[in-house]
Every structure is written in C-alpha cells, then in structure tokens.
C-alpha cells in the first residue's frame, strides 16, 4: 500500500437526501406506500468528498449551503470524516439543496434534485473563497449539480495550475468545448456517455480535446476504460445490493484516491469497483461509504 496521502479538492453540490424505501417504483399517476423513510446527507459533491476522506485522502470541499436546519447536518457529516469545510458558503435567503429519492427493494432508484443553495454557487462566489486549495491539490473532482459556469471556472483554475481535473458529468447536459479542454479524466455512466455522443462528442473527439481517459461505468456490467490506444473492460464486483444510491460517487472518489496515490490505472479502477460495490450493500449515500479499514477486512486494500 502506498504511503502517499492524496490531497483532493471537490467543487460541487450538497443536498439533504429525503429517501423513501418502496417495494416497487411507482408508475405515472400511481400512489404507493413507503415502508421506510430517512433523511441522509448527500449531494454528488459532498458524497465524493466524504467518500474520498473516508478512504484516507485530505479533502477540501467548496460549495453552498442554505440557512435551514439541513445545513448543519451536511456540514457535520463532512467534518466528522475530516473534510475541510472553511470554503462552504452560506446563502442566507435560500434553502439548502435537497433530493427526493425513491429506492425500491431491488435496489433501483429514482431521484429528483431540488438545487436550492447549490444554484447560487456562481463564479463570483468561487472567486471569494480560497482557490489556492484547488491550485495545490493532487486532483479536482467536479460534477454538474451546481451552475455550469462555476464548474467550468473551477476546471480552468485547476488546469492552469497543472492539477488533474476529474469530471463526473451528472446530471448530463450539453458541455462547451472550452470547458472539456480543461478536463483530464471523464467518468460518465453508460447513459451519460451516450448522451454526450448524441450531442456530437464521440470518444475520438473527446480525446482530441485533451481528455486522457474515459471511465464508462455500467453498474453490474463493470467499467469500460477508454484511452486513445484501447478500450479495456474491468469486471464488476458481485454483491447483494440493497441500495445503489451513492455508488457512482464512491467509484469516482475511490478512483481519485487510488490514482492520485500512484496506483496503476486498471488497478485504480478495480479498487474503485470494490469500494462502490461495498456501498450498495448498505442503505443511504454517505452513511454507506466504506473506510479503508472496512475494505481491508474483506481483503481490499489500496494497491
């Protein structure tokens, strides 16, 4: 196992996940009953920050919270695992972001995101925080649950400083060429990659923009690792999944931790697969993320 402690910056969203567990997901117009309801700390940005910190990274989180009761829960969840939160900005006249999540007993889910304070994370806000934490990082993790212009600004700051930019393009949207030219590693799922291709961005073009690798996650079907030279498949880990919420965020974070520690590309993907699979065996997002000790107990260690 490597002795290097990765220094990771995360610019992104923080949400309260209002999660209802149901036997089956509803059809349009159908009313169903839930057999359990829990409010979890979530948001793709915060999820990735927590997951990386639990796996041993030094993590700084950049984002916006509202002035309601959910903000304290989200800040506490980050701080409890050692994430630096001094760059979180409180938006006084806005609610904290939230997500309404339905999880069926088969582990499939449906999610509706209410941006709240996340939508107020403008480039001006980013310029007022300590961007040197981005410039000094080993990697910057980005997603698309805050305004695109702020995501692009963060990527530009990192790229100019020579910091690798890892983008999880979710929720997927049309992405400007200028933005993608500042991205080093793209981590879409199969649906997101297909949408990018439909928007005129096939693999070949993404590589010509400067993207070095594309990790296409396919859940139980594993991961396709695309580089300019080849596309290689990494098998998924078979587990008894009960809740897939947050598994993709765990994958991104675990890959970043492993890769920034100097781990070989395919070994980093395998490690990320193991961490993501572990996440699906427990309920919730951040509450389900494994730490290094829990993975070690099942024989999974950072290569």
Catalytic residues: 249
Q: 160-194 b/e with 16+ CB inside 10 Å = b? A: eeebbbbbbbbebeebeeebbebbbbbbbbeebbe
- CB distance 35 to 93 below 8 Å: no
Cα separation, 197 vs 205, in Å, equals 9
Pairing of strands 185-186, 213-217: parallel
Q: How far is CA 28 from CA 19, 31, 168, 183, 245, in A?
A: 19, 9, 29, 38, 22
Q: How far is CA 296 from CA 48, 83, 238, 293, 302, in A?
A: 20, 22, 17, 5, 9
Chain centroid to Cα 281, Å, comes to 18
Phi, psi (rounded to 5 degrees) for 149 = -65, -30
Q: For the chain, report the end-to-end CA distance as a whole number of angstroms.
A: 5
Cα separation, 252 vs 275, in Å, equals 10
């Amino acid at each position: 196992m490597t002795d290097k402690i990765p220094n990771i910056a995360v610019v992104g969203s923080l949400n309260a996940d209002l999660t209802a567990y149901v036997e089956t997901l509803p059809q349009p117009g159908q009313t169903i009953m839930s057999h359990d309801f829990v409010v979890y700390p979530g948001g793709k940005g915060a999820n990735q920050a927590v997951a990386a910190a639990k796996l041993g990274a030094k993590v700084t989180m950049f984002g916006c919270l509202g002035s309601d009761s959910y903000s304290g829960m989200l800040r506490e969840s980050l701080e409890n695992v050692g994430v630096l939160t001094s760059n979180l900005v409180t938006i006084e006249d806005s609610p904290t972001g939230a997500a309404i999540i339905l999880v069926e007993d088969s582990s499939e889910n449906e999610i509706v995101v209410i941006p709240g304070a996340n939508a107020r994370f403008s480039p001006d806000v980013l310029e007022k925080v300590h961007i040197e934490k981005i410039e000094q990082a080993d990697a910057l993790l980005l997603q698309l649950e805050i305004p695109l212009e702020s995501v692009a600004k963060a990527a530009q700051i990192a790229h100019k400083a020579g910091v690798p930019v890892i983008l999880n393009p979710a929720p997927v949207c049309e992405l400007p060429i200028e933005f993608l030219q500042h991205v080093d590693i793209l981590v879409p799922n199969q649906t997101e990659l297909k949408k990018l291709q439909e928007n005129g961005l096939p693999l070949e073009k993404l590589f010509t923009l400067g993207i070095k690798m594309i990790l296409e996650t396919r859940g139980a079907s594993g991961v396709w690792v695309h580089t300019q030279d080849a596309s290689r498949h990494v098998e998924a880990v078979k587990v008894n999944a009960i809740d897939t919420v947050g598994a993709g965020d765990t994958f991104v974070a675990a890959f970043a931790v492993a890769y920034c520690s100097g781990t070989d590309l395919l070994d980093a993907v395998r490690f990320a697969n193991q961490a993501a699979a572990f996440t699906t065996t427990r309920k919730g997002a951040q509450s389900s993320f494994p730490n290094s000790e829990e993975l070690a107990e099942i024989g999974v260690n950072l290569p």
